[in-house]
Structure 1
């Protein structure tokens, strides 16, 4: 991989060559692009003008490309989906970008920005000139779903921080940002049909500091929500950067904020409050026709705001204890044909029934439901996508059943988990996952796939890709999000862009060492210029520590020994 080091691109391209010389973009240089690639070219023009204080002049393209343009984007149908080819300095003094489609053009535009060096990541000219090293680059992604989840329910982030998060995801050529908009601790999506969801559910009286096991409270109200226009802006901003925003409305568990607003939907009667602690709540929806109708209405509003072909329904961590306590729900399960061995109603199956009704409604709106792997079961419609967080075995089961899957195993992809074992690591929760550990991630390792020959059948589903998760129970500001996310998300981005299933990126190996060198020499300076407060490779800065705040470290080796490929939930 030594040939890529001089260019410093991340993710590393499949093929690249450094040539002699460079192309210096002058003030009023010209840019040509056909209409189908215009969004990517327009974005590149804007960030280049902003960073370097020059004008890039668009020239009209009427069918035939003007070869005199300094920078030109063209469509090349011979390239794979999402693929691109750069030629900087060929012809002399020119930049040529060929792509299979708009996705490829967005990836190429990000590569061009990287080639211009750290100054390209600043918002105003600081005396630098846009100098691009002469080179050829050809690349294509290994999977269409290269995602990152941002949890804005546990700790609300202002819209400006969400836009910044999207911009950085695009800079790493990720294609999906999943917005976790609702949970026990807060409801962040404005519903005009059910306004109490934000009037009541968007704020909580206080928050737990550190693990919920300590019972330490801060006594400080917390809240916020996004208007429909806010979220339309986020969607449009992401689309301009080649990123799809997938909304998530979590049901039938993780709904305590909704039950505080509309308690008649709860499985247990009485008043409810927005949850102030973390962990799993057994305060869940009653799986009734009324609850289905309510959330169909909410999802209609979601579909009016978000244009993604996918909508997340959650489906995870939904205890059924409260359902079992209600004779009417036990009878309902029996009436639907869900019975236990002794003939009584099996309320656990109502979980799948509820998700299936909402998934079918989304299908009628032209969308596909996305559920966490607890939502996978015999009642889940086959077109629903299963995001697998507990391990690999459930992913294989879902694939064998015909579902498309996204790999998101907590053992590797949960970026809220601690990044080091040292005593200064802030709020040390979960597994220790270093940059090298994340870089070694393979969505569906060949060693595991070899144990499941049923995945090669004609009815098996597809692996759409993988997703990293930024849960925010312990990330209460944009600075804390930066620290947990970077530079590990950079490692994830390269891993999922080029994943083969065959390994080769194990910690300490040649590829891992090259990545760390390239990260330090080329990419961290870009993050510095952008203003990302990432975790230093040697450990946290003094101001990034949280002394005295208890976490809950977990032992990865022990849990892997106990759970194997199946994993063990935390």
Structure 2
């Protein structure tokens, strides 16, 4: 396996003389602060790696920078435990793909190389929507493993939406009894109004969520939870009609529901209870409140959302946390310190940074992995604009035209996996990989697609060993198609026109 096959590509890789052998008798030395990384590495390599000198050596050097690392033969030095962990992931990629499997001999040759590496951005995230289609805990943990393998460090977990509520909240049992399942689901894009006639549901217990958090922390992935409010709340209103304008079922169709929270005192108390529970379970400094796509037809005052967002921000501040919201929270003024997920193009990212808000760039026409991958009619449920592997690789988090101070507010980027049309982990694999591999390299900091494409076949061998149902580079296979779930392909000009209209209420106009 060539060192040139590494993804994301390190800052530098140099061959050295000699080589090594990793086997059951290889010793491992590390300070107590790296015991967790060492334990993870033993499991990942399927080797006992007894404590001792003369083999693998894990070290800390705070002068490197928190997520930077050096790999010199069998010595891995990181600026923190996270940096050492990334060095260990690079070590795994230097081994033959067989080393990534759970069966077979655990005895591998390793070429001697010197690697120097550090990421360009601190927020290298991926959002997983488990509201539209529920994903069991084991599949979420596998999703975390694959993200961590690519040195991504944030999992934004979209836990609720009109079509399903996926977490317990103490004192509100009907959220899971009623709000966690729907009678059927749409097949394909909503324009076709076709349904499958099958109930769909599921939710995470508090212990489930704590398991996900702990598992992710071991892999240096921060889990950022999101409960969308005050819109995208039809599932909650189905469970507790007094929170909205009256009884509604859990939504079965895709799209935006007009049935939102009524912003009365009970609704505010409900939202505070939800946020308290998220703060109790998730240690993340930022807590997602959504804030996007909220119709106001059910409200007497259509301009109340900024007031609501401010109240939720105040409550989170009392818990030592900050709001994380979609870029609609800029309309009417986002709370001080709010982190903005800029999804409607480069304009909202620029506006947020100029207003002094930390920004995570996630523009839909560049990093929404539910969007179709080609014009091939065999693509499953083709929706959105065409977003090829090369398009994703070309993503740059920082918009043009910002000052140096404003550029520093762009924390990084995030790819979003919306699951209306992904009803299984297999379908998520197909839509996510290898585009997420390209995204991971884009936010790590390397910038040559041609070089990435030349390394990708070696990386696909790793994905094969990890059992990933990625989209072949040659295009969809016959069984990937979904003729029962037709899509709605869009063009770039049409989508750009929509985004310009959608962002006209941003401060200073906010051009896309």
- The alpha-carbon deviation at position 456 of structure 1 amounts to 4.0
1:55 lines up with 2:48 in the alignment:
yes
Note if 1:43 corresponds to 2:22: no
Corresponding residue pairs, total: 506
Distance 1:230 1:535 in 2: 30
Residue 194 of structure 2 corresponds to residue 209 of structure 1: no
Deviation of 1:564 after TM superposition, in Å, equals 7.2
Q: Which residue of 1 aligns with 2:417?
A: 470
User: Aligned-pair distance for 1:457?
Assistant: 5.1
**Aligned match of 1:547 in 483, 486, 504?**
483
Give SS of 1:403's match.
Answer: coil
Structure 1 SS opposite 2:262: coil
Q: Tell me which residue corresponds to 1:264.
A: 242
C-alpha contact 2:141 2:215 (8 A) present in aligned 1: yes
How far off is 1:138 after superposition? Answer: 0.6
SS of the equivalent of 1:78 reads helix
**Do the aligned residues in 2 keep the contact of 1:40 with 1:105 (CA within 8 Å)?**
yes
1:50-95 deviation per Cα after TM superposition (whole angstroms, max 9, x unaligned): xxxx421134xxxxxxxx331111111221221000001xxxxxx1
Q: Which residue is 1:27 aligned to?
A: 24
Q: Partners of 2:404 and 2:61 in 1: how far apart?
A: 32
Query: CA contact under 8 A between 1:205 and 1:221: conserved in structure 2?
Result: yes
1:321 aligns with 2:297: yes
1:295 equivalent in structure 2: 271
Task: State the match for 2:507 in structure 1.
Answer: none
* Pair 552,562 (structure 1): closer, same or farther in 2 beyond 3 Å: closer
Counterpart check, 1:111 vs 2:75: no
Q: Give the direction of change, closer, same or farther, for the CA distance of 1:461–1:565 in structure 2 (3 Å limit).
A: farther
Aligned to 1:534: 470
- Contact 1:250–1:315, Cα closer than 8 Å, also in 2: yes
- Normalization by structure 1: what TM-score? 0.85
Are 2:291 and 2:329, in contact at CA under 8 Å, matched by a contact in 1?
yes
Alignment partners' CA distance in 2, 1:564 and 1:200: 38
Q: How far off its partner does 1:485 sit?
A: 0.3
Q: Computing the radius of gyration over CA atoms, which structure comes out larger, 1 or 2? A: 1
Verify the 8 A CA contact 2:69 2:116 in the aligned structure 1.
yes
Indicate which of 308, 315, 327 corresponds to 1:373. Answer: 327
The equivalences for 1:126-525 within 5 A come to: 126-127=104-105, 129-266=107-244, 268=245, 270-323=246-299, 326=300, 330=301, 347-348=302-303, 350-445=304-399, 448-449=400-401, 452=402, 455-456=403-404, 462-498=409-445, 505=447, 511-520=448-457, 522-525=458-461
Within 1, Cα distance between the matches of 2:14 and 2:327? 42
Per-residue deviation, 1:378: 4.5
1:335: which partner in 2? none
| In structure 1, distance between residues paired with 2:316 and 2:172 | 19
Which 5+ residue runs of structure 1 have no aligned equivalent? Answer: 60-67, 89-94, 331-346, 500-504, 506-510
More divergent stretch after superposition (20-29 vs 364-373): 20-29
Q: Is the 8 A contact 2:21 2:109 kept in 1?
A: yes
Given the two structures, how large is their TM-score scaled by the length of structure 2?
0.95
Shift of 1:364: 1.4
SS at match of 2:411: strand
Task: For 1:226 and 1:562, locate their aligned partners in 2 and report how far apart those are by CA, in whole Å.
Answer: 35
In 2: Cα distance, 1:425 partner to 1:175 partner: 29
Of stretches 415-424 and 29-38 in structure 1, the one that deviates more from structure 2 is 29-38
Separation (CA, whole Å) in 2 of partners of 1:157 and 1:436 = 28
Displaced runs of 4+ in structure 1, greater than 3 A?
4-7, 455-458, 557-569
Deviation at 1:118, TM superposition (A): 0.8
Residue 400 of structure 1 deviates from its aligned partner by 1.0
RMSD: 2.1
Distance 2:296 2:26 in 1: 63
Cα gap change, 1:565 to 1:409, in 2 (>3 Å): farther
Q: In 2, distance between residues paired with 1:311 and 1:461?
A: 21
Query: Secondary structure of the residue that 1:58 maps to in structure 2?
Result: coil
Question: 1:19, CA displacement in angstroms?
Answer: 2.1
User: Contact 1:142–1:497 at 8 Å: present in 2 too?
Assistant: yes
**1:148–1:177 CA contact under 8 A, matched in 2:** yes
Alignment of 1:94-109 (within 5 A): 95-109=74-88
